Structure 1
């Protein structure tokens, strides 16, 4: 969950390759907001939030869509046997409390304070998330990407 924050992920991959022994395996787990997962019941403005987070991350030099690029980055760096897998975290498996922080409406306050979310968007999202957290049949499934490659 580091590569989404990096300005130049290809430089980090090159350095990781440099310090690996031949035959060593690099494994990266990260996100791609285009494949976030599922929240039930759905939150109407959730994709709006993800789009705004992606825009903010990009302005800061990061990339919340990095997951889709990782296989290509590893291949470009000369890794072999590049593989990609999806990892799912589901509130019914990990427990609702494990995913509660991800669905904490207070995490949105900074976005509202900085004007990324309007006051109305913040209110709607916070209300929807609070309702989701109290809904007995609610669940969340988040998807992560794991890419690995071997140094030749």
Structure 2
């Protein structure tokens, strides 16, 4: 996607976060079932998927044995400055 948008020097990286290192508190918001309600209402999630998320959310909040790990993928690049047509005409010799 970045290449199609004319970005150069494109890079991609991944990072992991685990509750053993960060604690569960930072994950509670990520797994709050209310965050997924609109996806369910719009039909993106079916009732079985939404119920599974609801159970996971409750277990994360209540179980002493809960843990979580999330993987974040990040992409970056440089968008070259594009000269306007009149500026390009002035640059040509």
TM (norm. structure 2) is 0.59
State the shift of 1:92 in Å: 2.4
- Which of 75, 78, 91 matches 1:147? 75
- Which is richer in helix? 1
Distance 1:137 1:86 in 2: 26
Considering only aligned residues, what root-mean-square deviation do their CA atoms show, in Å? 2.6
Paired residues for 1:1-152 under 5 Å: 73-112=1-40, 114=41, 116=43, 117-118=46-47, 122-152=50-80
Q: Which has the higher contact order (CA 8 A, sep 6+)?
A: 2
Structure 1 residues 134 and 83, CA gap change in structure 2 (3 angstroms)? same
Equivalenced residues, count:
78
Structure 1 residues 84 and 115, CA gap change in structure 2 (3 angstroms)? closer
TM (norm. structure 1) is 0.40
3-state DSSP of counterpart to 2:71? strand
